[in-house]
Structure 1
């Protein structure tokens, strides 16, 4: 089932859109805390976003830009602002379409269906990010984002934190991590793993993620 996230300040409009999406068989969610748009996106993992421009605190252009840092998910702007400059900005910021208020629900649904078919017909529907306690791991460019700080990871660092975040709350043995690092046939011994983990911990600490990776003596590592 396709998941669609609604970022709309007008309560009546977002409820009408949500009701219509559900009639079409979509799973819908609208944002209520407009300071948590990005975090809601990461947790909900929608296949499309309907984004108003005029929002409390930060506008839709800002949130579109933040989401584009980690994802190519389709974004349709919905707004009463209809100047050429608004439409051009929406497209330049990464929007896929623009719907002017007041709008026809039939036209909106036609646009949603067309973009979903075009985007997902020939590709797997998979999340591009993993989120845990405010840290967002981008699977496409091997970066981790925390409190507005983005960190570039080496190949081995990415593999280590990827397997730990995939199994957050569970201990991952050193052997399992080393096997994942051996996939490219470059031998990683026990001491090399320790060096890689320590280097990764230092990097994470530099962006505020101290003690993100914890050691379970005699067992392995865990992210809680």
Structure 2
């Protein structure tokens, strides 16, 4: 498994490489932070470890831009430890969040869990629903001649709703599917993601598909 490390603390990065290499992970990194996004994508890693406090661009920007182009699993590794930092990370498409300082075995457990979870998800090449076509592996949707990209969370929400078409999907179930828990995630985060998804669908001229069932959840 290939892991790309975006960390500007050279001492910490060297420790990470040593640790991960000992567990047979193939590690790579770059110091060109002007082009770090394209460099990360060129490496085609199985997972990215991403710091937040970085030169040129912060980790949140990098996470968002990578997520526009790739579904590669991203774990935010940072000294920032507020609930807002974790919430922002997940909302931008990160798969996990771990704070520094961390125990090496905890980090390894997070990496293993994310890789297992992401690799076990079978992705259909194309899903169609009422004229709307989803391309999960490319994280985009199309309607007639128009198409637009979705974030990882937007694609997950739409896929879950389509798989449960005609049935109400509770907010709690959606939050668990997106973040594996609804305990530490602000309820408003799901609303933001759903509203963004609705906007994306509207942008390509597709009819409104998602209906809110107040107090219950969402239904197609």
TM bucket (normalised to shorter chain) is: 0.5 to 0.7
Task: State the TM-score, normalizing by the size of structure 2.
Answer: 0.55
| Structure 1 equivalent of residue 18 of structure 2 | 19
Match of 2:64, SS?
helix
- Unpaired runs of at least 5, structure 2: 124-136, 148-220
Equivalences for residues 7-46 of structure 1 within 5 A: 7-46=6-45
Contact 1:6 / 1:30 at 8 angstroms: preserved in 2?
Answer: yes
State the Cα deviation string for residues 26-45 of structure 1 (Å, max 9, x = none): 11112211112111122100
Say whether the 8 Å CA contact 1:5–1:29 is kept in structure 2: yes
Instruction: Give the whole-Å Cα distance in 2 for the aligned partners of 1:81 and 1:114.
Output: 22
Question: Separation in 2 of the partners of 1:80 and 1:42?
Answer: 24
Shift of 1:93: 0.9
Q: Secondary structure at the match of 1:65?
A: helix
Distance 2:80 2:138 in 1: 35
Larger Rg: 1
Determine the structure 2 residue equivalent to 1:94: 93
Compared CA separation, residues 81 and 141, structure 1 to 2 (3 A): same
Q: CA RMSD in A?
A: 2.2
**Residue 27 to residue 84, structure 1, CA distance change in 2 (3 Å):** same
Partner secondary structure for residue 12 of structure 2? helix
Task: Go from structure 1 to structure 2 and tell me whether the alpha carbon gap of 1:52 and 1:120 turns closer, same or farther (over 3 Å shift).
Answer: same
The 1:101/1:140 distance shift into structure 2, 3 A limit, reads closer
Q: 1:122 to 1:93 in 2, by over 3 A?
A: closer
The ranges of structure 1 where at least 4 consecutive aligned residues each deviate by more than 2 angstroms after the TM superposition are 121-124, 138-142
- Is 2:120 the counterpart of 1:121? yes
> Which runs of structure 2 are paired with 1:123-138 in the superposition (5 Å)?
123=122
* Number of equivalences: 131
Give the equivalent residue in structure 1 for 2:58: 59
- SS of equivalent residue, structure 2 residue 69: coil
> SS at the partner of 1:109?
helix
Distance 1:110 1:10 in 2: 22
- Given that 1:18 and 1:30 are in contact with CA atoms closer than 8 Å, whether structure 2 keeps it comes out as no
Gaps of 5+ in 1: 125-137, 143-151, 154-224
Give the alignment's TM-score, normalised by structure 1: 0.54
* Displacement of 1:140: 5.5
